[in-house]
Amino acid sequence: MLKVKNLKAGIEDSQILKGINLEVNAGEVHAIMGPNGSGKSTLASVITGKEEYEVVEGNIDFEGDDLLELSPEERAQKGVFLSFQYPVEIPGISVSNFIKTSISEQRKATGMKPMTTKDLLKMMRDKMELLNIKNGYLSRNMNQGFSGGEKKRNEIFQMAMLEPKLSILDETDSGLDIDALRIVANGVNKLKNKNNATIVITHYQRLLDYIVPDFVHVLHNGRIIKSGGKELALELEEKGYDWITKESDKKWA
């Protein structure tokens, strides 16, 4: 589904990603872990098309499309979704209006018929139930005055509504208490199927107790320095990052 090859990217003069290789197939869950500043969020931003980042080398293939040639909205329309680390507050537009616009624009772009209001509302209710979201939420302004947990839940709600092929969850666990974490993880697990894939970006192993990855990658200083199965996450939790980052620093010194 996603093939990232030798991706080098940065912002202004500083290079952040120094040659990322990553392949994600349908039905898989990948975790990208790493210390602060390793480039995790940059990778998410480059895949989704944030304009401040400049790609200097490499490519990103998504189901045969060169993602780097596409605008952020085209990437989303192809099925790429980012759950933001810091979801943006948009006063003056309700959650339901936002999601309605998003769905109708995506359907328009992919040549699908618009969804009827009835179907849309039914889908919203079903997905709200899945994520334990209370009534009244839909008419609130997008993320305005939301707690950290509510914002993250709103991201997963959008993911549930948009049904992307590839979901990138950027630090979705930060700011969540354990109950909210369980609800969010449960939602993600229920949305998982053999046709979609998930990349979970996290600093801590905690989230991976609930969203069990097929692969774990350690990102450090702009490179994936180690990949493994889910047991790698547990090892990192126990030993910290130092034991592998030191090794890698020696290699690239």
Partner 1 sequence: MGLIENLKSYSEEIQISDDKKDLLDSFLSNGFPTTKDEEWKYTSLKKVIANEYNIENKGQVVDDSVIEKYSLGFENQIIFSDGKLINTPTIKGVSISGFSEFESNTNDSILDLNKSLSQNGFTISVDKNTVVESPIEILFISTTETNFSQYRNLISIAENAEVKFVERIQNLNNSSSFVNNFTRINCDKNTKIEYNKIQNNTSESQLIDTVNVYQEQDSTCDINTLLFGGSFTRNNLNFEQNGFNCESNMNGVSVLDNNQLADNHTFVDHKSAHCRSNEMYKGIYLDNSKGVFNGKIMVRPDAQKIDAFQSNNNLLLSENSSIDSKPQLEIYADDVKCSHGCTIGQLDADALFYMRSRGIGVEEAKAVLTYAFASEAIENISVDQVKLLSKKLLAQKLNVELDFSV
| Residues paired with 61 in a beta bridge | 3, 66
Residues that bind partner 1 (CB under 8 A): 48-51, 71-73, 75-77, 81-82, 84, 87-94, 96-98, 100-102, 105-106, 109, 117, 158, 162
Closer CB to partner 1, residue 51 or residue 231?
Answer: 51
Which of 140, 154, 215 lies closest to 187, judged by CA? Answer: 154
Q: How far is the CB of 159 from partner 1 (least distance, A)?
A: 10
Closer CB to partner 1, residue 93 or residue 212?
Answer: 93
Closer CB to partner 1, residue 164 or residue 213?
Answer: 164
Furthest CA-CA distance within the chain: 60
Closer CB to partner 1, residue 123 or residue 162?
Answer: 162
Give the pairing of strands 53-62 and 2-11.
antiparallel
Closer CB to partner 1, residue 95 or residue 236?
Answer: 95
Closer CB to partner 1, residue 45 or residue 245?
Answer: 45
d(CA 138, CA 251): 51
- Whether the Cβ atoms of residue 176 and residue 146 lie closer than 8 Å to each other: no
Q: How far is the CB of 53 from partner 1 (least distance, A)?
A: 11
Q: How far is the CB of 100 from partner 1 (least distance, A)?
A: 6
DSSP SS3 for 245: helix
Q: How far is the CB of 237 from partner 1 (least distance, A)?
A: 30
Which of 148, 202, 210, 155 lies closest to 181, judged by CA? Answer: 210
- Whether the Cβ atoms of residue 28 and residue 193 lie closer than 8 Å to each other: no
Q: How far is the CB of 113 from partner 1 (least distance, A)?
A: 15
DSSP string, 4-35: EEEEEEEETTEEEEEEEEEEE-TT-EEEEE--
